[in-house]
Amino acid sequence: MNRKYRKTVIAGNWKMNKTPTETKEFMTAFKAMLPKGRWCDIALCVPAVCIPAAVRAMRETRVGIGAENCNANASGAYTGEIATNMLVDAGCKYVIIGHSERRAMGETDADVNAKVLAALEAGLIPILCCGESLEQRELGITEEFITMQIKCALAGVDEARIRKVVIAYEPIWAFGTGRTATPEQAEDVCESIRSVIRKLYGSKIARATSILYGGSMNEKNAYDLLAQPDIDGGLIGGASLVPEKFLQIVEAANQPTA
């Protein structure tokens, strides 16, 4: 982390877990535990039906609520989809875009790009996910693959808007598996993502861009991962479902930085 130049962000991704009632229970417990004073930015991205309960519970706290996906179109015949202006109106601040679980359901780089542009247009903070498969890592093409994902996702995003984007590096082989990337492996890729941003937008913007790591981050390994200079926070799945565990990760984000 480097709090001097960029925000530290700890974001939860609940995936398809918790009902609205369970959301209210989680938020009530988590709110009671939140430390006083200004720490890192905290986001909780929850299933669409849980957004109203989450927003209501976290009003007047510094926890921002987010969605796990959006549709790039403003409105129309897209049964079951949710537009970015609907998310804003429901009180969302963030939206996860390009998660590998959605890419596995058919989301393309072009879809991810359209969603990033739509989210920015609506005033949402996109948490843009990228990450290689085990096969790609073993072939030694991690950097090329991620560079391509980032360049595609950010096509048409201008200098004024890139400042709003949070990037999350999530190696596919490391999440939901309990198999975390080592702090060095995660740092290497986050550093190379920063250099892609540097080439695209210049060093000032690269230095100010928050790049998160996601992949079995938990209350035990968070401290070491967050101690890396180019890892500015975490996107957390499983460990964000338990208030005590999520809080411990937030606490790890409060460690002193160089």
CB of 221 to ligand PEP, least distance (A): 10
Q: Which stretch binds ligand PEP (CB under 6 A): 52-60, 72-80, 133-141, 213-221?
A: 213-221
Contact pattern for ligand PEP over residues 222 through 241, marking x by CB under 6 A: -------------xxxx---
| 129: region left, alpha or beta (phi > 0 left; psi from -120 to 50 alpha) | beta
217 near ligand PEP, judged by CB under 6 A: yes
> Is the Cβ of residue 207 or residue 245 nearer to ligand PEP in the bound state?
245
215 near ligand PEP, judged by CB under 6 A: yes
Residue nearest to ligand PEP (CB): 237
Stretch (H or E) spanning 239: none
> Is the Cβ of residue 200 or residue 241 nearer to ligand PEP in the bound state?
241
23 near ligand PEP, judged by CB under 6 A: no
> Is the Cβ of residue 219 or residue 230 nearer to ligand PEP in the bound state?
219
219 near ligand PEP, judged by CB under 6 A: no
Query: Which whole-number Å values give the CA distances from 30 to 44, 62, 156, in the listed order?
Result: 11, 12, 38
Could you tell me which of 214, 257, 219 has the C-alpha nearest to residue 239? 219
Alpha helices in the chain (DSSP H): 20-33, 51-58, 84-89, 100-103, 109-122, 134-139, 142-153, 159-162, 183-201, 203-208, 222-226, 243-252
CA distance 51 to 53: 6
Q: Which of residues 122-181 bind ligand PEP (CB under 6 A)?
A: 170, 175-176
- Please provide the DSSP assignment of 2-34 as one string: -TTTS--EEEEE--S---HHHHHHHHHHHHHHP
CB of 60 to ligand PEP, least distance (A): 27
CB of 31 to ligand PEP, least distance (A): 22
The binder of ligand PEP chosen from 6, 9, 13, 211 (CB under 6 A) = 13
Q: Annotated catalytic sites, by residue?
A: 99, 170
Give how many residues touch ligand PEP by CB under 6 A: 12
CB of 153 to ligand PEP, least distance (A): 16
> Is the Cβ of residue 47 or residue 237 nearer to ligand PEP in the bound state?
237
* Helix 243-252, helix 20-33: angle, nearest 10: 40
The binder of ligand PEP chosen from 210, 216, 221, 228 (CB under 6 A) = 216
The CA R_g of the chain, rounded to the nearest whole Å, is 17
> Is the Cβ of residue 186 or residue 206 nearer to ligand PEP in the bound state?
186
Beta bridge partners of residue 95, listed in sequence order: 67, 126
> Is the Cβ of residue 101 or residue 230 nearer to ligand PEP in the bound state?
101
CA distance 241 to 219: 12
Asked if residues 43 and 10 have their Cβ atoms less than 8 Å apart, the reply is yes
**Residue numbers of the site for ligand PEP (CB under 6 A)?**
13, 170, 175-176, 214-217, 235-238
